[in-house]
Amino acid sequence: MLESFIIVFFLIAILLIFGTAAWAGLIAAPFVPTKRRDIERLLKLAEVKKDDKVYDLGSGDGRIAIAAAEQFGAKVEGIEISLLPYIFSKILVRIKGLQKKVSIHYGDFFQVNLKKADVVICFLTPKAMKKLKPKFKKELTKNTRIVSYAFPLLDWTPKYVHKPQKGDISVYLYEN
């Protein structure tokens, strides 16, 4: 009996992990970590400051949220819909003692109100970026900085595109 319970539990856990990962890939982006060397570049381009409220949409393993809090002192809300990166990031935030600066939420960032954001960071597919445009226009206040890693916001002109060397990934800065 116990053996059957363990097998069922294991199968449900596998299904949850892979199911949420597949769902994340369908609605926004699969989990692909931002290169560590690009995180500081991304946050500097966003001009993250100590008093900023930063939203990391599709926060993955939390590396951007943690860096924004540790290096720049910002208060960060990360939203992640894939179960395994969400759990990992929650653990990492706790290990680093950043619970007062970083909150990671399990859920769909399309359902989160972004009106308090000073900075929004995203590394999402072009399809997801297109879906975010009306949300950004409706919820973001004037001068909110949007930083997109790798993919531009279609039909929006970036304030700046940062690509220091030929092989680097582009980082796009927008202001609402």
- The model's pLDDT over 68-102, given as tens digits with 9 standing for 90+, comes to 999 999 999 999 988 889 999 999 999 999 999 99
| pLDDT-derived band at 165, boundaries 50, 70, 90 | confident
Mean per-residue pLDDT over the chain, rounded: 87
| pLDDT-derived band at 155, boundaries 50, 70, 90 | confident
Q: Is the pLDDT of residue 106 over 70?
A: yes
Residue 7 has a pLDDT of: 62
- Give the whole-angstrom CA distance, residue 90 versus residue 165: 34
- The number of folded domains in the chain is 1
- Give the whole-angstrom CA distance, residue 114 versus residue 135: 8
- Give the whole-angstrom CA distance, residue 19 versus residue 26: 11
Mean pLDDT (whole number) for 161-167: 89
Residue 110's domain comprises 2-175
- Give the whole-angstrom CA distance, residue 93 versus residue 63: 9
Domain with 102 in it: what CATH number? 3.40.50.150
